[in-house]
Structure 1
């Protein structure tokens, strides 16, 4: 299922304190850990994120200390596990990279995942368990999950799509040039590496977020090109930087939205994709009736598919929905183009 669908289902499941552990499967870079963090933030819960790849079996069990009075050993629980007095009464124990952990570590996690305890430690009552990992077919470090463990989990497999990712990207201030480029080249949102060199950096939703951050750090696209290649790979970086140079020479978007100017921009697809994303970013930053009217006025000069793209992306913003829904010019445009905005 898509990322937003997975988040919706996981959020519903975690409402119950008695829910079994949930296992999230996906290729690397799709956003498994982000889903867990977002849900915890929305519910005002704590998160304990444990990377099982970095844990030894004895780390989970704790440290033995002598109980001299009773003549036996007791186990001090690990500090990285949730403790109600320190971490609160509700939260998510997130066991990430569980499939990358050696079998001995997975075996040590059995009791924690299945029985909510390990040794003398008990998971607090209001805490839930979520696990995540990559599939063996993703060519990462991954071991087969033992069937007794797998059979006691609810499994959710996550895939990505551009529309699903853009909903997140617009809401999280991803650079508009990144969004515009992926509108132009949607096949590069996620591209599984085929050679050893490509495994150093390859396109994923996570690595495109890195590119967005890189663009905000550098003065020019040429200065950033090699670093961008380190994030998404050389081939995608070359294409992205060529596209970004086009985006740098767009008409003034504020003149379009504030003054109602309608410059001629030609029909080159890369220019139109870049222009659409720039318009959407500016209208979502400051939506009002005048700017929305000028937005509609200008996009009507574009090919119809770019009109639809611009409106659909703008309407991913709740603020724009409120403004556009009261705008006669938008109602007229939507009625005229109802066949393409379904």
Structure 2
């Protein structure tokens, strides 16, 4: 977790976003900082530069669209796109930040050229290095004198963060100086392992609130919900988790940072109920459940929690397909499945059951039952028959054949 408490509002969330592996693979979720003139947006970003991190600042309004899309040139009868000079500034540095300052002064033609740069990270057909992050800054709409509104496609490619310097921080900094930010580190492999769990939780939330998948750009002047921004939210929640940010933190600071990031992706009307849902989610340790160390009261879980629990159990059952634990894990899994049937909510676990069936779970169970040749194997196969002979599961016939 970022320890400093002497940073501008929005800085902590910014540093987390810049350290987060993006859904496309490179490091860093694109961030757009909104703040009034003179609050240190540019100074903070440029202050992150050191011998290992190059910061290149471009003021969008004084550049031509070809500075972001590449200049078309004729070469041996074919049109090619010459790479702008600024792209080469990142060579020789392990990492970098492309800082698009005063973005709201960019005319629509430049905004269109930036679409591919921000999301696909390409200038013409030339890719930016994977370690180059993208940050932009703009003045709020009510202070946007002579500027241009950002198009919804461009807005949806950023996490939007509100930036400000509280009075107490400014007074402190007058005498003690400004504190520079420092990028945290998020391990790519750990993030990749953690991310499916957060996608499950978000998927369960969207099952409860399917209309939250999309929100209107007109109703949200900054971030708004779309499948792309939901991907951003999952990646950022995963990064927060790995950096030690807890939804149940007592001081409220950690929740505030998480809410800033979620609001920046999805808009406030979607972020607040999502944070409330995640905070109140009751999820047992799936491994402890399958090992018999923790009991689950199926009737005490709501539909979203039940959905997440079974997908979490699936992950461990799938890892155990070729191990001795398969039988004991499957016994508990099938017992829980029967409880769900008795509770009248079988449709909630259709998808997790289908996932296991398609992975060859039932064939593995049958084979191991024959090898062991004991009563446990027969009992399990009886449970399987009871589950999959249920009329509501007729669609599984094709999967099992």
Question: Normalising by the residue count of structure 2, what TM-score does the alignment of the two structures yield?
Answer: 0.39
Q: TM-score, normalised by structure 1?
A: 0.46
